Amino acid sequence: MDPLSKAKVLGKAGKYDTCGFKQCEIKLNNGLGGIYHAKAEHKTCKIFKTLMGNNCSQDCKYCPNRNHGAKKKVAYKPGELARIFDYLNKNMDVSGLFLSSGVGSDPDKETERMIEAVKLVRKNGFKRYVHFKVLPGTSYDMIKRAAEVSNRMSINIEAPNKSIMNELSDTKEFKTDILRRQSWIKKLSLSGGQSTQVILNNLSTDKEVLRMMKWEYDEMDLRRFYYSRFRPVKGTPLENEEEQPMIRQNRLYNVDFLYRCYDFKMNEFNSIMDDGMLPKEDPKLVLAREYFDSPVDVNECSYEELIRIPGIGPQTAKRLYYCKRKIKKAEDLRKLGARIKMARPFIEIDGKRQMSLMEF
């Protein structure tokens, strides 16, 4: 198979790995997949997301490549991937490579090929972002070598605990294949750190997912924890399972953001869950209704109160603090970045309520 045909298959196969909170695939006329506008931490860039090969000896029940079962078995030679990426970098302004792979028959051998490809990419003069996906079961030495050519690494935990992982795979061992590898990546202190991804399915509750999220941020120094809702793939053992709603994924991202950037405590979210699941409404709004007895004056309340007001984020709260709270009208607040419609029910400006009590 020629390299462009391989790129079409392997670029599309890379879609199951998340490369940002918001990612949007760019459709090309020639059918090449895998190029995304990815937005993370307020930056947007073009990333080429691909597998090195789609052959895999693992047996994850949700994956079309399981048990060497890919319909068309395809693998790049390292030089082919480097050439394709060089072309995308020079002609399409693609500024990041996100490289994953099926495990093949041996994770170390597949990782060796991935390292070789990234080395060639670097040899072509590319100095920017390379995200290297660590394959379950890869040895420490290979991970260390991969870290030398990468900015960020990740290994997907997929499940929030061992028992759910056991439901999804008979071959992947949660503690040794995944968590032990994460602790090795942590030891390597990469400039871009490490991230991971969990699949949201019917087997796990939001509470279990969030408990794991907290543990990962606390113990593994994780940069980002990504949430990927389950969507059944034809021909897999889970093809008849229910697709998970986008709202579940969005609410978990909301909580993740509140935990990392607003300093909300995890037990606050537990208090608004029903049967281990988050409400469908924005969790910040639900918590604000519990927290505030009455509207607060934006010129007088504390920073801790400010960031709990829906529509006011940490940046706006800081700007408000530094502008010495000279807010005279809602428009002044909007200019500082607040989303007035959301904030109105919870605020007073110069002693004046912004909505009637009935609307609070």
Interaction site with ligand SF4 (CB under 6 A): 56, 58, 60, 63, 65-66, 102-103, 136
Measured from the CB atom, is 195 or 354 closer to ligand SF4? 195
> Sign (positive/negative) of CA torsion 155, 160, 174, 56?
negative
Q: How far is the CB of 135 from ligand SF4 (least distance, A)?
A: 7
Q: How far is the CB of 118 from ligand SF4 (least distance, A)?
A: 19
Identify the CA nearest to 359 among candidates 351, 347, 350, 329.
347
Supply φ then ψ for residue 348, to 5 degrees.
-120, 150
Q: Rounded to whole angstroms, how far apart are CA atoms 325 and 299? A: 5
Give the length of the chain: 360
Measured from the CB atom, is 67 or 302 closer to ligand SF4? 67
Measured from the CB atom, is 205 or 236 closer to ligand SF4? 236
Measured from the CB atom, is 185 or 255 closer to ligand SF4? 185
Measured from the CB atom, is 233 or 277 closer to ligand SF4? 233
Measured from the CB atom, is 23 or 65 closer to ligand SF4? 65
Contact 327, 298 (CB under 8 A): yes
Q: How far is the CB of 198 from ligand SF4 (least distance, A)?
A: 13
Measured from the CB atom, is 13 or 317 closer to ligand SF4? 13
Supply φ then ψ for residue 45, to 5 degrees.
-150, 165
Q: How far is the CB of 114 from ligand SF4 (least distance, A)?
A: 13
